[in-house]
Amino acid sequence: MESFEPLKSTNMYRNDTRTVITLDAGGTNFVFGAMQGNKFIIDPITMPANAHDLDKCLSTMVEGFEQVIAKIDHKPVAISFAFPGPADYANGIVGGFYLPNFPSFRDGVALGPFLEDKFGIPVYINNDADLYAYGEALAGALPQINEKLEALGSAKRYRTLLGYTFGTGFGFGFVTNGELHTGDNSCIETFCLRHKHMPNIMVEDGVAVRAVKRVYKEESGIDDPSLQPKDIFDIAEGTREGNQEAARKAFATMGEVAGDAMATAVTLIDGVIVIGGGITAAKKYIMPSLINELRSQMHSIGGDTFNRVQMKVYDLNNEEEFAAFAKGASRDLKVYGTDKVVTYDPEKRVGVMISNIGASTAISLGAYAFALNELDKK
């Protein structure tokens, strides 16, 4: 019989006295912090990133980390943060053509080794979507789901999480049994899957912020470059002037295209899907089409119909659906030739939900936990 070990959780670090220095590496600003026991222990320090100039950018990083160290009364054990890829994260090297916010890094920068040399402590750099998934798996959605399943009397437990971030890109990471999977090339991505409606176009162009703006422009005929997703959401809500139908379709199309990509991923990686990012504030217009796509059907050449995702898909933000998700199809099954009875649940099922803690918090928790987990392995 299969037994479920308790999931590794950052609860083990809740009372940890070790401090890890963190960085939110945006293309415009760097935000430095220090985390201990799953909480930030100093006010954030914000400095311009100077991403266009490598010398200034690295100098800013050093200065920012030095200011953090000056504010704490003990030596930090590591530096851990997310940095946009492509990168050789395992060796702390950032570089590659697709770095629109950090053009000065495109030829390759040994960022991890540089910072380790400067500060004399381990440095861990990861993709932001990977750390998002890690944070949700260890301290966010996954333990929340399993605790809720236990409270509802379900024997079902989940150990795999697929994390997606909606924003300027379409980020993805996944975690199984408390371990973050990055592949052999630090390059597990879904942004370059095919767009459902335009097979020669990458799916990110149908899911990112620019997709919502583009579809609204196409459907409404209104060419206003200043409109942002928040504005389009307000139009959809009827609180701002504009084409309400086009606004709602912009978010619905995004959900449909994202759901198509997620259906491929969850078919290969069986687990719960958790979505983060500011644009999820428009979830009421995104999620119905996303879930419908996950529940869509396909056909064989012979005419047979089958589900696109072989597991039954539940909306875990819906309390009634979560109750059904917890119950499954459990029934008693008699053991042949004995008076014994076992519980049998033949329903294969997964769930999808919007993050409860938010992408930024999940990434920070992921960075903190990743550093301590790596140190504990030594």
Q: Please report the pLDDT score of residue 6 as a whole number.
A: 42
> Mean pLDDT of all residues in the chain?
92
Query: For domain 141-356, which CATH number applies: 1.20.1090.10, 3.40.1280.10, 3.30.420.40, 1.10.10.10?
Result: 3.30.420.40
Which tokens in the block code for residue 229? 């997703």
Q: Please report the pLDDT score of residue 4 as a whole number.
A: 38
Query: For domain 10-126, which CATH number applies: 3.30.420.40, 1.10.10.10, 3.40.50.1820, 3.40.50.10440?
Result: 3.30.420.40
The pTM of this model reads 0.91
Q: Quick check: 242 and 233 in contact, CB under 8 A?
A: no
Q: How far is C-alpha 13 from the chain's CA centre?
A: 21
Residue range(s) occupied by CATH 3.30.420.40 in the chain? 10-126, 141-356
| pLDDT, block means (10 residues), the chain with 378 residues | 43 85 88 93 94 95 97 96 84 82 89 98 95 94 96 95 93 94 83 94 95 97 95 98 98 98 96 96 97 97 96 98 96 95 95 95 93 92
Which 8-state DSSP code applies to residue 270? -
Q: How far is CA 207 from CA 140, 192, 196, 352, in A?
A: 23, 11, 11, 17
d(CA 259, CA 272): 13
In 3D space, the residue among 193, 185, 144 whose CA is nearest the CA of residue 164 turns out to be 193
Q: Please report the pLDDT score of residue 11 as a whole number.
A: 59
Q: Quick check: 179 and 163 in contact, CB under 8 A?
A: no
Q: Please report the pLDDT score of residue 221 as a whole number.
A: 97
d(CA 319, CA 162): 21
